[in-house]
């Protein structure tokens, strides 16, 4: 049948060879998936999830038992005191905005300890001038770059021992940078070092693309607050939109008062019928993340075989679901993304083109033939159009569909 999809016999043979050589890597992923699945099931059972939690509220959304219980389940799964899981969050970027504005006050300083954060934070922080940025509210920004893909612990310790930093931001995934993702172990080490000299600073983790890749989450190893999108890992491909903030109860409370309004906080927010999708998405998420990881590793193996620079390599440790492929050439990059699109179930006949997306500085191409618009836990591939022309691929609701999409993309560049 691959032939009917335009995949050559040669490429099919290469794919078979890849799978043969990836068995050990796939087994490691299965183990993490099992552990994370049991964590999820335990939380569902502890909170006695039942059909009543699938109900909906409208209007103000007072006393939404489904929403309130979902937030307890998420908190337990993430090892956090509390969480805010809301459809009113437009995206991960929105939830990060809410978390930052909730924690910071005029005169405060935030410090990124892994270099420049994700592109959409430029306007939030004020790196890109914006009248609504943190900078416009007199909140300062500093950053310390990574050294050899790891935290610069001496520089960080020296800076935070002065105690004038209010919040530290750590970004687990690489975003559109060419650095590696940061493992939970690396984060745990830097947090321990920070705590030796400063107990007050708020440590926030942008956990986008990181959930369930490893067996622990940042809030289990000392992060105070953590943010992620529900159209990425934790939504399991079923959540129609939304994002979460999890962590210390006081900070989640502040975030709730920023998302809704002071005095109302977590008490309002209609769920409009999405509770079941959120719960079922979380239930599926460990497996969906494992399918994404297998798709990424398969991609990494094949493209390296074909002579491209890939990161991570197929057998390297991963802390997120993102796979990068360096094409060094705009045309090949675009062809690859268009191939991914042509392998999807939805919008397979659309041809993605680079465009000026709101919130991004360079033109961006985004291939995402997704059930949920823009969902990147579904097989998707995007890239800012800038040298060295690197594709950022992630997702795959099932490995089988992910594999087909990747083969279509490879065939398109061959």
Ligand X SMILES: *Cc1c(COP(=O)(O)O)cnc(C)c1O
**Positions that interact with ligand X (CB under 6 A):** 91-93, 118, 120, 171, 173, 175, 206, 208-209, 229
Whether the CB-CB separation of 34 and 240 falls below 8 Å is answered with no
Q: How far is the CB of 159 from ligand X (least distance, A)?
A: 22
Q: How far is CA 1 from CA 12, 196, 403, in A?
A: 10, 59, 13
CB atoms within 10 A of CB 252: 26
Judged by beta carbon, residue 100 or residue 190, the one nearer ligand X is: 100
Number of residue whose CB is nearest ligand X: 92
Judged by beta carbon, residue 175 or residue 240, the one nearer ligand X is: 175
Q: How far is the CB of 362 from ligand X (least distance, A)?
A: 16
Judged by beta carbon, residue 118 or residue 151, the one nearer ligand X is: 118
How many CA atoms lie within 13 Å of 55's alpha carbon, on the beta-carbon side?
A: 15
CB atoms within 10 A of CB 152: 18
Judged by beta carbon, residue 15 or residue 110, the one nearer ligand X is: 110
DSSP output for 79-120: T-SEEEEETT--SHHHHHHHHHHHH--TT-EEEESSSS--TT
Q: How far is the CB of 393 from ligand X (least distance, A)?
A: 13
Judged by beta carbon, residue 66 or residue 236, the one nearer ligand X is: 236
Q: How far is the CB of 46 from ligand X (least distance, A)?
A: 29
Q: How far is CA 335 from CA 338, 351, 392, in A?
A: 5, 10, 14
Residue-wise burial string across 213-228, b where 16 or more C-beta atoms lie within 10 A, e elsewhere: bbebbbbebebbbbbb
CB atoms within 10 A of CB 353: 11
Whether the CB-CB separation of 36 and 212 falls below 8 Å is answered with yes
Q: How far is the CB of 308 from ligand X (least distance, A)?
A: 22
Long-range contacts for 281-284 (Cβ within 8 Å, ≥24 apart)? 281/230, 281/234, 281/235, 281/236, 281/237, 281/238, 281/239, 282/40, 282/73, 282/74, 282/77, 282/234, 282/235, 282/236, 283/40, 283/41, 283/44, 283/236, 284/236, 284/237, 284/238
CB atoms within 10 A of CB 48: 9
Judged by beta carbon, residue 366 or residue 404, the one nearer ligand X is: 366
Judged by beta carbon, residue 118 or residue 389, the one nearer ligand X is: 118
Determine how β-strand 380-384 pairs with β-strand 390-394: antiparallel
Q: How far is the CB of 91 from ligand X (least distance, A)?
A: 3
Judged by beta carbon, residue 111 or residue 368, the one nearer ligand X is: 368
Judged by beta carbon, residue 2 or residue 360, the one nearer ligand X is: 360
State whether the Cα torsion 400-406-409-414 is positive or negative. Answer: negative
Judged by beta carbon, residue 120 or residue 219, the one nearer ligand X is: 120
Q: How far is the CB of 41 from ligand X (least distance, A)?
A: 27
Q: How far is the CB of 141 from ligand X (least distance, A)?
A: 16
Cα(314)–Cα(303) distance, integer angstroms: 10
Place of tokens 């490995």: 399
CA torsion angle for 177, 352, 318, 386 (degrees, to 10)?
Answer: -20
Q: How far is the CB of 258 from ligand X (least distance, A)?
A: 17
Q: How far is the CB of 352 from ligand X (least distance, A)?
A: 16
Determine how β-strand 323-326 pairs with β-strand 390-394: antiparallel
């Amino acid at each position: 049948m691959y032939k009917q999809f335009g995949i050559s016999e040669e490429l099919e043979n290469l794919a078979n060879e890849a799978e043969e050589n990836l068995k050990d890597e796939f087994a490691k992923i299965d183990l993490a998936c099992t552990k994370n699945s049991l964590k999820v099931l335990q939380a569902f059972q502890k909170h006695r999830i039942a059909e009543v939690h699938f109900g909906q509220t409208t209007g103000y959304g007072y006393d939404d038992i489904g929403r309130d219980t979902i937030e307890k389940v998420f908190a337990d799964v993430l090892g956090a005191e509390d969480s805010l899981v809301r459809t009113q969050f437009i995206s991960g970027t929105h939830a990060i905005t809410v978390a930052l504005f909730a924690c910071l006050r005029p005169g405060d300083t935030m410090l990124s300890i892994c270099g420049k954060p994700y592109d959409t934070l430029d306007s939030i922080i004020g790196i890109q001038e914006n009248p609504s940025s943190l900078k416009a509210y007199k909140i300062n920004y500093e950053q310390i770059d990574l050294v050899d893909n790891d935290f610069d612990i001496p520089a960080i310790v020296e800076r935070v021992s002065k105690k004038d930093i209010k919040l530290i931001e750590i970004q687990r995934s690489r975003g559109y940078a060419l650095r590696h993702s940061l493992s939970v172990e690396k984060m745990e080490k830097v947090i321990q070092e920070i705590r030796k000299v400063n107990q007050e600073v708020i440590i926030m983790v942008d956990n986008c693309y990181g959930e369930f890749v490893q067996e622990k989450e940042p809030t289990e190893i000392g992060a105070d607050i953590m943010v992620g999108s529900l159209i990425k890992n934790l939504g399991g491909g079923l959540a129609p939109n939304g994002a979460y903030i999890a962590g210390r109860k006081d900070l989640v409370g502040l975030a709730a008062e920023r998302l809704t309004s002071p005095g109302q906080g977590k008490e309002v927010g209609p769920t409009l019928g999405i509770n079941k999708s959120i719960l079922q998405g979380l239930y599926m998420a460990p497996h969906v993340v494992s399918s994404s990881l297998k798709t990424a590793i398969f991609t990494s193996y094949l493209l390296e075989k074909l002579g491209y620079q890939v990161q991570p390599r197929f057998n390297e440790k991963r802390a997120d679901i993102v796979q990068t492929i360096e094409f060094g050439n705009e045309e090949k990059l675009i062809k690859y993304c268009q191939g991914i699109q042509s392998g999807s179930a939805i919008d397979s006949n659309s041809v993605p083109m680079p465009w000026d997306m709101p919130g991004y500085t360079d033109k961006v191409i985004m291939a995402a033939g997704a059930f949920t618009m823009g969902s990147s836990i579904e097989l998707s591939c995007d890239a800012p159009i800038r040298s060295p022309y690197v594709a950022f691929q992630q997702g795959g609701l099932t490995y089988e569909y992910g594999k087909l999409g990747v083969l279509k993309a490879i065939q398109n560049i061959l």
